[in-house]
Each structure stands twice: as structure tokens, then as C-alpha cells.
Amino acid sequence: MVEIMKLDHRRLPSDFDVYLFHEGTLYESYKMLGAHLIEENEVQGVRFAVWAPNAKKVSVVGNFNNWIGTMHRLERLDQSGIWVLFVPDLAQGDIYKYEVTGPDGQKVLKADPYAFYTQLRPETASIIYNLNAFEWSDQKWMTQRVKKDMYHKPMAIYEVHLASWKQKEDGEFYSYQEFADELIEYAIDNGFTHIELMPVMEHPYDGSWGYQITGYYSATSRYGTPEQLMYFIDQCHQQGLGVILDWVPAHFCKDIHGLGRFDGTPLFESADPMRAERPIWGTYSFDYSKPEVVSFLISNAIFWMDVYHVDGFRIDAVSSMIYLNHDNPLPVELKNQYGGGENLEAIEFLKKLNEIIFRRFPGALMMAEEATEWPLVTSPTSLGGLGFNYKWNMGWSNDVLKYMKLDVNERPKHHHLLTFSFLYAFSENFVLPFSHDEMVHGKKSLLNKMPGDYWQKFANLRLLFGYLFTHPGKKLLFMGSEFGQFDEWKYQQEMDWMLLDFDAHSSFFNYYKELNKFYQKTTSLWRLDHEQAGFQWIDADNTEQSVITFMRKGKRKGDYCIIVCNFSTEVYHNYQIGVPTKGNYYEAFSSDAASFGGSGQLNSTIRSTNPFPRNNQPYSLEITVPPLGMAIFMKETKTRKRGDHLNGI
């Protein structure tokens, strides 16, 4: 039988750490709370510490005491609400839970909120684990990350749900380490700069896709061990690929072993059921008015960046955090103390989170999934902003997909859906997302959203991706879209890789790969992504022919390209566009190339300018505009000729 050792003050959380925890400023609370393997006075064991201020009793139960709650009772530290116990002779791999007796005398078995590892679902016990054994080899990446100017660099993010990216023949999941052998090479080969993983924090239900979490500090055991996830991230960094995690500080699931009513009372959630409930998701919302919850969440973000070396987060459901009534169909409208609908505590939490993260990790990516017109999301908190450095441009993706789904004959009446985004494109630092949310629940895949016959669907999607990569903002694409997945996303099975055996899909896959590589090597397409100086309309108003023409510009004089997008099925010969300077222009890229599955309506010869002004430009150019196509033109210079455009400037 495992014995109990009397508490030694050297094994206790310090008074100062406890004070900071209750103040909401203990930003590494995972070092104080949870189960930690320690050795003192030649005695090895585990110190358990848990916050449960309203519990009558707390015991630790597990495989080491036959799950009997009377054997290892924790001691409460005065009025702190923290319970502590040191148990000798426990080791990595031992499983445990807390038996928490609430104020009403009811006993519930709870997983450790700070557990570093968890049993494979459907089992739910926490596992004692040491996270300090892995030897990292990504020092070069970590050093360069601090110095990297991501705002003026290309960024193409590959959003991945690990369970359904690829599976083994028997339907089992790959391990994190096996993903390192396949996914990294695939992402790099296709021109992506970052992988964004849908939540890898422990969650009980596969169908939540990881967005309803029970183990915020626990890498899900679905894909292996913590070291295997560290290996995956380490390999990404060594090969030049960033790693972003989806993170969910908005709400958590109600499973009995999770955070809900943790000590027999609402603890991580609000005591007010109207504020605690998130009916649309069947979850609880975090109570940001509690400093301990703030310590828990900010510590969690730091934990993933510090212990797992991740490069940043896409913060899920920010709109539902900052607004009390967003996506929250309650019988009454919630209001703050001033009568408004803003969640003041959540807003302060987000500001504090971003301030602390950027202070600790200057090169971090903090991306808000925010769907409203809330101002200054990506402005510093010192200027009244929320302090993120990127925001998903969901307005752009909604508008452009609404437009692309229209029959081509209807598009002239809805031309504004293409152009409206430029009225606000530089108000925030935007990421343009085609995420998983656009490809589930009957919304269809990107390819199947496109109207027309089989050829037109692919042409429309090539055009859409051309518009994506030439529009200001960083890029994000959900897995499968790069080769034209036809069915919408199914989380239970792997992507339809067999489609690559068909010419239309393999040609489209080649197009995406070449487009992404062209984007990364063409400085004018990203150097001034977040500045008005990086964009200029040439013709935004050709609604009748459904054609738009614009320029993207870099920092240096002469670093520009001209983009023509034709959203009709017509070919326009001898089409006139305005250009800013006299000279010879060549078509550097076209979505209509036959090798991409297009009709081959190319501008295969050099085009010289005419001395006639057009579109408020001093010169004009006569070109062929392909059907449902995008073409990019560049001016020849002494250092840039037709055929070497991939070298950029």
C-alpha cells in the first residue's frame, strides 16, 4: 500500500504563488497545481495540488489505492481553497482522479484540471507524467522567431484535423510521430508556411473536433504521448514550418469528470446560470471575473508556448466572449453593469492575455476568430485595442463565397460582394480563412459550392484561389481544399485521397501548389499586406462583364503586379486595362493554363503598352482575359524577364 507522508513546507506551494494565483497573475500556475513528480530528502513521489475552495473533502484516488477515497486525503491550505498532498513511491504512468466532496456531501470523481496526460477515451482518468524529458533541437527556429517580421512576410496556413487528415488501413489514427513523417513534408511541398492544428487538448467526444475540452494542459492521447507531440513540433520547426494551435478559452464541456461544478459548486463557470450556460453548444462559459480562472487560462496559453514550443494560437469564438448575447439564445438579454451587451471581464481578460503573451513571446501569433465589427481587434491595448496581432476576415470569406455560389448570370447584380472588403481591408491585420466551418453541416466543400458543369466548378475554384492569394491578407486553407475535395468534410474518416488519381483533381492540386509557390516568391503579393499602399484599384466597376482589375505593390519602386479576375464564362479578347508605367508586360501566372485544367486562353507573348490613358492610369495594355480565370501581369525590367518571374524581386 502506498503510504502518506506528512506535509513538509518545502513541498507546499509558496505563499507568494498562492497570492498571485488568487490575484489572477500566477502565469505559470501549472507549476504549482496539478500532479508533480518530485524528490526531496531522497524520497521520490508526487505532490498533488488542486483548487477546490468550496469542497468539504478532497482525496486522490487511483490504481495505487484501489480507488478508495479514504486512503489519501488532501489537506487544505488555510483559506486558500487549495488542497495538497504528497504521496511517495508514485511514478510516471500511474493514473488518478480527485474524489471531491461538495458542500452538499455529494462525491464526484474529477480529472485533474492541470493534468499533463490523460487516459485514452472513453476512459477519463488523469495520468502522472513528466514533461521535462524531451530534448529539443529547434533552437535556431526559436531564436529566429523572436526577430521575424511576420507582417511583411508570406503566410499560408494549412488547417488540419489530425484524426481525419489521414488514417491507417484499419481506421486507426496515426501517432503524432507518424504525422511528423508525412504531414510536415506534405505541407512544405505544397508551399504552406504554418500548420494550424484543430484542438489537440484532451476532449471526450470525437464529434466536438476538440472544441469541447476537459484537459486544457493535456495533449490528447488519441495520437500518442506528449513526447510524440513535442517531436512533431520540433520536426516542424527544424524544417521551417510554424505550428499554430486552436485554443478554446470561451467555453468548456459539461462532462461529469471535467471542469463543470468542479468542487460541487460553479467554480470555473459563473454562479449565475444565465451567464454560465452556452445553450447553442451545450457547454459552460468561463467566468473571467474570477482571478483564479484568469490564472488558469493565461497559464495555459503560456504552457503550450513554453513547454510545447508552439508559435501561437487561433483563439476560438472571440465574438461569443466579448458579447454577452452573441450566439447565445437565452430567454432574456444579458447586460453588463452599465446596461450594455459587452462582456467587460472577458474583454479585460483578452487584453491581459495578449499583453502577457507578447511580453513573454515577442514573436507569437495571436489570431482572433472574431466575426463582428468590433473595432481595433489587432491594435495594441495601449491604443484601446484587444491586443491580438491577427484577425480572421470572416466578412470577406462569407461575402466571396456567397458571390461564388451564384450562377454567372446573377453575378453582375452582386458585384459589390467582391469589392466591399477593400473598404476595410486595412482596418485590421487580417487572415483570409477558408476554414473547416465553411465545409460542414451541409455547406458543401469549396469545390461543390461552385456553380456550373464539372469543368466550370474547377475553373471557378481556381479563380477563387487566385483571388485569395492576390487579395491583401494572410491565407488559411482547410485540408482537402488544395486538391478539390468534392464531398464536405467528414471528421470520422480520412480525406478522399483517391481523388488524386483523377486528372481534374491532380491538375487542380498542381495548380494550387504552383499558385502558393508563386505567391511566396512574389514580394508585391505580401510585402504590404496590411497597408493601403500595398493595393490599388485599376477597375473595380466592370459589373457587366464581371471583371475586376487591381494592383498589388511592394515596398520598392517598380515592385508591383497587376491582377485581372474574370468571374464570367466569356473570353474577352483585346481587353483594355490601365497600367502605371510604360514598357513591356508579360503574363507571369494564369489559372487558365491547360496544365492546370484550364482552357488555355493565355497571353503567351509580350504585351507593350499603348500611350492611351485608361482606368485613371497613364498607359494601357491590351490582353486576353480567360473565362472564369485569373491572370497576373508583370512589367519587364533589367532584372526581371518573362520566364524568371518565380525569382520575385
Query: Angle CA(220)–CA(224)–CA(229) in degrees, nearest 5?
Result: 80
Cα–Cα dist 196/179, whole Å: 13
Pull the grid cell for residue 28: 505559470
Cα–Cα dist 473/433, whole Å: 10
Helices (H) then strands (E): counts for the chain: 14, 29
**Residues 263, 277, 316, 539: which is the catalytic one?**
316
332 φ, ψ to 5°? -130, 155
Burial (CB count within 10 angstroms: exposed 0-12, middle 13-18, buried 19+), residue 461: buried
Within 8 A by CB and 6+ apart from 126, the residues are: 35, 95, 96, 97, 111, 112, 115, 117, 118, 119, 215, 218
Within 8 A by CB and 6+ apart from 247, the residues are: 199, 201, 300, 301, 304, 313, 314, 315, 316
Pull the grid cell for residue 559: 515592385
Give the containing element (helix H, strand E) for 535.
strand 535-542
Cα–Cα dist 533/360, whole Å: 32
Tell me whether residue 316 is one of the annotated catalytic residues.
Answer: yes
Contact 248, 211 (CB under 8 A): yes
Pull the grid cell for residue 231: 517531436
Cα–Cα dist 392/429, whole Å: 9
Cα–Cα dist 554/561, whole Å: 9
Pull the grid cell for residue 395: 466578412
- Closest-CA residue to 601 (of 590, 609, 613): 590
Q: How far is C-alpha 299 from the geometric centre of its chain's CA atoms?
A: 19
Tell me whether residue 369 is one of the annotated catalytic residues.
Answer: yes
Cα–Cα dist 90/36, whole Å: 10
**Residues 196, 369, 428, 587: which is the catalytic one?**
369
Strand ranges of the sheet holding 277-278, from the earlier edge strand across to the other edge = 251-253, 283-285, 277-278
Q: Residue 360's CB: how many other CB atoms inside 10 A?
A: 15
DSSP string, 349-368: HHHHHHHHHHHH-TT-EEEE
DSSP string, 197-254: ESP-EE-S-GGGTT-S-SEEEEE-GGG--HHHHHHHHHHHHHTT-EEEEEE--SEEE-
| Catalytically active residues, by annotation | 316, 369
